[in-house]
Chain A
Amino acid sequence: MSHRETAPEVEPARAPSFEQALKRLEAIVARLESGELSLEEALQLFEEGVRMARHCSARLEEAEGRLEALLRDEDSGALMVRTFEPEGRGSLPEAAEGMERGAASG
C-alpha cells in the first residue's frame, strides 16, 4: 500500500474487497488524469493503481463455483458445510459450463 496516499476504508487485517479496490483505482485514475501531479507523485499513484487493479482481478477470479449447504450436526449441534444436491426434475447449469459461457460472452 502506498505510504503517501492513505485509503482509510481498507481493513488492516486483509486485502481490500473488490469494491474498495475498484473505488480506489477509479479515484487514482481521476487524480492522474487531472494533470496536477508531479512526475514522482504520478509514478507513485500509478504503482498503487496497478496494485489495486491486481486486487480486483484476484477477487474476481477467486470464486470457485461452489454450491454448498450449511447444516447442523444432529448430535453435536455444530455447523458443517456440505455439498448441496438440489432435488427436482431437470438439471441445473454446471458451474464449469456456465464459466465457459460467461467467458465467451465476457
Chain B
Amino acid sequence: MAWGREAGEGTEGVQSWARRPAVPAAPGTGARGAGVAGTGAMGTGALGTSALGAGAALAGRVLSVADLTRRVRARVESDPGLARVLVKGEVSAFRRHTSGHLYFTLKDEVAQIRCVMFRSRAGGLRGPVGDGVSVIAFGSVGVYEAGGQYQLYVEVLFPAGLGELYAAVERLRRKLEAEGLFDPARKRPLPLLPRRVGVVTSPVGAAIRDVITVSRRRFPKIDLLVAPAQVQGEQAPRSLIRAIEDLQASGLVDVIIVGRGGGSPEELAAFNDEGVVRAIAACRVPVVSAVGHETDVTLADLAADRRAPTPSAAAELVVPLYSQLQADLRAASHRLAQGLVRRVRLARERLELLTRSPVLRRPEALLQQRRQRVDELSLRLAAAIRGVLRDRRAQAEGLAGRLDALSPLATLGRGYAAVLEGPGGALVRSVRALRPGQRVQVVLSDGSASARVEEVHPDVAQGDRA
C-alpha cells in the first residue's frame, strides 16, 4: 500500500519510515519480479496473462529512473534523523580530487557509506586523516542522483582520538569553570606601564621574536624577561608551570605573556593541561595568554586575565606606546601650568577690582558720611531728651499742684486749725474725744499753741463720725 504514494508526500516523519523494511525487499514474487511499480492496488494477478492488461497496468504507472531517484532523495533529505549526524568509522579509499574536494568511504564491520567533503568545507578537516584512520565525521546524508548513491556530505572531520581529546578538554573545562577559575570577576587589569614584561614561551621560534619586535617598536627601552619553556610535548606542562612560577617568584615582572605560535590540536595540548591552567589562574601577576592563531582557544586562554589571538597581539596589549605616554604627560603638565596661571590671573583681577573701588581710594569719604550721620543723630537725641524732660517737668508740676491742693498746710493756710491731743499727740477728728480740762495742741499755719478745753459741745444731728 505504501508504495503507491505519490512523490512529494515525503514529510511523514520518522515513524512512517521506520515501518518500512530497512532494505528494499528482494524481488521474490512473480509480479514484483517483473519490476513494475504500482501493482499493489491491483493485485499481483492482474499482469499475469493479458498483454492488453499489462499495457493498461503499465501506462501512467511507470517512473523514470530520475523520478524514482528523486523520490528517494526527497525521502532521505527530509529525514531529520539523517541531517547533522555524527558518524564514527574507518576511512578507506581516501583521495583528494583535483577540484579540491575530498572523497572517501567510511566503514565498519557491517556497512560502509560513501563520503564527500567539498573544498568549501576544507576548514572542517581537523587533523591528519587518511586510509585506516578512525575518524568522527559530522555532516548530513544526501543522495547523489547522477551516481545513484546516497552519501554523507561531511562538514567536519577529525580523528576519533582527537574527538576524545576534545571531549576530555570539555570535561576539564566544565570542572574548572565550576570552580570559578574562569570567572570574569577574577580578571585583573594590566598595568599601564609595566616595569618589566615577563614572557613564557619557547626560546626559539617566531613567537618570542614577534613579542620582542612588537614590544621594541612600541616602547624601545622596555625591559623584557624571558622564562624559556617547552611549549609542546610531554615535558611541556611541567616546563610551563615552572616558568610561570619562577617569574612570579622572582618579583621582577609586572605582567606575564604566556604563549606560542600556531599548531595542531595535539601541539597546543599543553595549554589545555590542568596544571598549566591552574598555574595561570593562581598567578599573582596578571597573565596574558597568546596561544596559536585567532581561532585556537585553549583553557589557558580562559584562565588568563586577558587573551590575545597571537603573541604579537599580546605584546600590543601589554606594552604601551612610549610616544603616546610622553604626549599624555606633556599635555597634563601643560594643563597644570595653565591652570595655575589662570588661577593667579583671577586673583590679580580681583585685587585690581578692589583697588579701583571708591572706598579704597578715598576712605575718608566713608568716614565723612558716618560723621555726618553721628552729628545728625546727636542733635535728634538732644532734642528728644529735652522733649522728655519738658514732659516730665509738666507732669511733675501738675502733680505738685494737686499735691499742694490736697496738702493740709493749704487747708491750714485757709484759716483752719488742727487740734492734737497733748503735745505731739494724735490728730483730733471728733469733738467727742475731748474732755473738759484736757490739754490739747492747736496747730495753725504759722505755729502752734497749747490750750485747755473748757467745754465740749457735740452736734446732735451728725451722729458719730470717726
Contacts and interface: CB of A to CB of B under 8 A. Distances in A.
A39 B225 contact: no
Contacts of A84: 203, 224, 226
Interface in A62-106: 62-72, 79, 81, 84, 86-88, 90, 92-93, 95-103, 105-106
A36 to B, nearest CB: 10
A17 B191 contact: yes
A65 B220 contact: yes
Interface string B329-354: 10011011001101110110000000
Main secondary structure of the interface of A (DSSP, over half): helix
A42 B340 contact: yes
B322 interface: yes
Nearest to A63: B221
A22 B325 CA distance: 10
B223 A65 contact: yes
B138 interface: no
Contacts of B333: 25, 49, 53
Interface stretch (B103-111, B244-252, B259-267, B289-297): B244-252
Nearest to B206: A88
Contacts, number: 158
B205 to A, nearest CB: 7
B252 A81 contact: yes
Interface residues of B, number: 50
A25 B323 CA distance: 18
Contacts of B196: 66
A7 interface: no
Given A66-B224, A88-B204, A93-B217, 4 more contacts: A60-B329, A61-B221, A67-B226, A101-B217
9 contacts: A35-B346, A42-B339, A46-B336, A64-B223, A66-B224, A69-B203, A69-B227, A88-B205, A95-B216
Interface of B: 191-193, 195-196, 198, 203-205, 208-209, 212-213, 216-217, 219-228, 242-243, 246-247, 249-250, 252, 322-323, 325-329, 332-333, 335-336, 339-340, 342-344, 346-347
